A and B are shown apart, each in its own frame.
Chain A
Amino acid sequence: MAELEEELKSQIIESLNLEDVEIGDIETDAPLFGAGLGLDSIDALELIVMLEKFHGIKIDDPSQGKDIFESIKTMAKFIRAHKA
């Protein structure tokens, strides 16, 4: 079950150019924005592209992103719900 979470962590590190960040550094439950990874508004848009490119899910309204991209956990939950 944790495979998707691990996959997302790896994809985020690559898509957002998070140098010096390992998969083990990203906690599944921890907030992605704010402190921690220091993601910004461009990263939020890039996550939308990542979702479409690697998981085939299109988000047209960026404001939806706030809830979906809260953490790895919420992202994985969203993806599973859409693929179901």
Chain B
Amino acid sequence: MSKELSILAHSVVRNSSISINGEKDFTSSEQDFKTFIKEAYRNYDLKYPKFFKMDSLCKLAVIGAEIAIENSDLAEISNDRIGIVLMNRASSLETDREHQHSIDDRENYFPSPSTFVYTLANIMAGEIAIRHEFQGENMCFVLSEFDIDLMQQYVSNLFESGKIDACLCGWVDFDDSNYESVQYIVGENSSKNITFDVCTTKEIYNVK
């Protein structure tokens, strides 16, 4: 018997603005991502100095996750039962290019560990896990576009197999100053939340 699942909350970060559950919540006049995301950090008062060590992809992921998580009631769920399943298109290419640049010139050869550690797609999930102490299932897919069907199937299976009671799902992509984060918390069904299915996810993703 399939479990009935709901989306407890969702966040969208695009074009210097942040929405919560479909409503615009924060907008910046800054087009530059780094400036925008710092403003968002201050606006949401994260009080998390580690944020500034992160690369752009992780900053984007952490802010998007923060909004979705803060607007979900996960108090009853044990941290080892909360999973994180993320997808993107560019993996960590933004930071990969930075690392590559640091080794391109043998006369000026200074590979940096604090850059290299971010040259993996799943570190964004790691940063979210650390901040929120989520110890459940992990998965990071890299695809050409947000595969909502795959996400639906994979996450539903995780619930069916009894491995998780909640899941942070998302498409979080950063590539050459183009970015978007669409993240949502999936949990067991509750009448006041929207159903977790392909249609509702598409609606969330397609909102401008």
Contacts and interface: CB of A to CB of B under 8 A. Distances in A.
27 contacts: A16-B53, A16-B114, A17-B53, A17-B114, A18-B49, A18-B52, A19-B49, A19-B51, A19-B52, A20-B49, A20-B52, A38-B49, A38-B50, A42-B53, A42-B114, A42-B117, A43-B114, A45-B113, A45-B114, A46-B112, A46-B113, A46-B114, A49-B110, A49-B111, A49-B112, A49-B113, A52-B110
Interface string B46-58: 0001111100000
Contacts of B50: 38
A82 interface: no
A13 to B, nearest CB: 11
Contacts of A66: none
Interface residues on B, range: 10 to 19
A32 to B, nearest CB: 14
B58 to A, nearest CB: 12
A18 B53 CA distance: 8
A53 interface: yes
Interface in B158-187: none
Main secondary structure of the interface of B (DSSP, over half): helix
Nearest to B113: A45
Contacts of A45: 113-114
B106 to A, nearest CB: 14
Contacts, number: 30
Interface in B45-103: 49-53
A16 B52 CA distance: 9
B52 A42 contact: no
Nearest to B117: A42
A81 B22 CA distance: 60
Contacts of B114: 16-17, 42-43, 45-46
Interface string B17-57: 00000000000000000000000000000000111110000
Contacts of A42: 53, 113-114, 117
Nearest to B38: A19
Contacts of A17: 52-53, 114
A56 to B, nearest CB: 12
Given A18-B52, A49-B110, 9 more contacts: A18-B49, A19-B49, A19-B52, A38-B50, A42-B114, A45-B114, A49-B113, A52-B110, A53-B110
